[in-house]
Amino acid sequence: MRSTVQMKGKSVTCVLTLLIATLISQAFAKIDPNTVVGLWLFEENGGDTATDSSGNGNDGKIVGPKKWVQGKFGRGLEFNGQDVYVEVESNDTLVLEELTMVGWANLKSSQGVRWQSIMMKGQNPRNYLLVVDRDSQKLQLSVTKGAPGAWGGVIGGPVITDEVWHHLAGVIGEDTGYVIYTDGIQVGQSAYVAPSLDADPSVLRIGDGSAGGHQIEGVLDEVALFNVPLETDDITTIMNEGLEAATGLGAAVYAKDKLAILWGQLRLIYRTNQ
């Protein structure tokens, strides 16, 4: 009898250990979730809204023919190069002097025809832009340096419109300068210049320019905006593990909700084994 009780006790201890380990892994994200301004995973598979999974309410309106396809992590949103984009209304959380933009992209060539904007806030002046350069088809990070028409930024790396998945990132920071990454590798850097905090038009768009004319042709997935300049290790973590695992945010239940679920499971196990 005593042996049976001991075995039950060991079983309960093992289960409790596993549940607690699960809780810890969910509660402690690798990247501070409070630095996430907007996180668009494109997992909706219907409707007119691109949900912001950061909890900041920066949901986007999906304009044009809507089609969800296989993404890099789950589903992705397909853009037709003509009239599909996601638009987020401007607010104070989106106006940034330091930031990081990230996203997965599988794009067709637009060489000599048009730029393809991953994310853009403002045409001229602009606060920030992560885009495929029209002529070189390489990644470009661009801002307005104060007055309209005064451009700043960096361009570099490999051609990224070859219809395979590439992870793209642009970082703006006073200490880091302007930095761009393709597939987790730093491919360009320039000195910091404070970007214009004005934006005209003021809206943020994903998959097109804020004033149009920068239409994406291909698929975007795992797009996010942070209010801090992330470091190289953070960029590679996001690329390898996905935004949900890296930040603890996403389409799944948040860690605080999981805490209540796990606590209920612990109480049930305890009562069952009394």
Band of pLDDT at residue 149, cut at 50, 70 and 90: confident
Q: Write out pLDDT tens, residues 76-101.
A: 999 999 999 999 999 999 999 999 99
Helix ranges restricted to H, 120-186? none
For residues 181, 182, 188, 193, the Cα torsion angle rounded to the nearest 10 degrees is -40
Residue 79 token pair: 């853009």
> Which CATH number does the domain 34-247 belong to among 2.60.40.640, 3.40.50.720, 3.40.960.10, 2.60.120.200?
2.60.120.200
Give the pLDDT score at 265: 52
Map residue 98 onto helix, strand or coil.
Answer: coil
Of residues 230 and 22, more confidently modeled? 230
- For residue 129, give the 3-state DSSP assignment: strand
pLDDT at position 146 is: 78
Task: Give the model's pLDDT for residue 5.
Answer: 43
Q: Residue range 18-29: average pLDDT?
A: 50
Question: Distance between terminal CA atoms of the chain?
Answer: 14
Question: What is the signed CA dihedral for 200, 44, 230, 187, rounded to 10 degrees?
Answer: -80
pLDDT of amino acid 177 = 97
**Helix and strand numbers, DSSP H then E, in the chain:** 4, 16
- Count CB neighbours of 58 within 10 A: 23
Residue keyed to tokens 């970007």? 195
What is the DSSP code (8-state) at residue 264? H
State the chain's mean pLDDT as an integer. 88
* Contact present, 134 and 117 (Cβ < 8 Å): no
* Interacting residues of 8 by C-beta distance below 8 A, sequence separation 6+: 273
98-146 pLDDT, tens digit each: 999 999 999 999 999 999 999 999 999 999 999 999 999 999 999 999 7
The pLDDT value given to residue 7: 44
pLDDT of residue 264: 55
Q: What tens digit of pLDDT does each residue of 46-55 get?
A: 999 999 999 9
Query: Judging by DSSP bridges, how do beta strands 68-70 and 75-80 pair with one another?
Result: antiparallel
- pLDDT above 60 for 258: no
Tell me, what amino acid is at 254? Answer: Y
| Residue 266 confidence (pLDDT) | 55
- Judge whether residue 9 has pLDDT over 70: no
Instruction: Summarize pLDDT for 167-181 with one digit per residue, the tens.
Output: 999 999 999 999 999
Q: Is the pLDDT higher at 203 or at 24? A: 203
Map tokens 């300049």 to a residue. 229
* Distance in angstroms (rounded) separating the CA atoms of residues 149 and 47: 37
Amino acid 250: pLDDT:
81
The predicted pLDDT at position 222 comes to: 98
Q: What is the pLDDT of residue 22?
A: 42
Sequence-distant (≥ 6) Cβ neighbours of residue 15 within 8 angstroms: 269
Q: Which of 18-27, 33-42, 52-61 has the lowest mean pLDDT?
A: 18-27
Q: Quick one: CA dihedral 237, 194, 57, 79, positive or negative?
A: negative
Determine what percent of the chain is predicted with pLDDT higher than 70: 81
Q: How confident is the model at residue 272 (pLDDT cuts 50, 70, 90)?
A: low
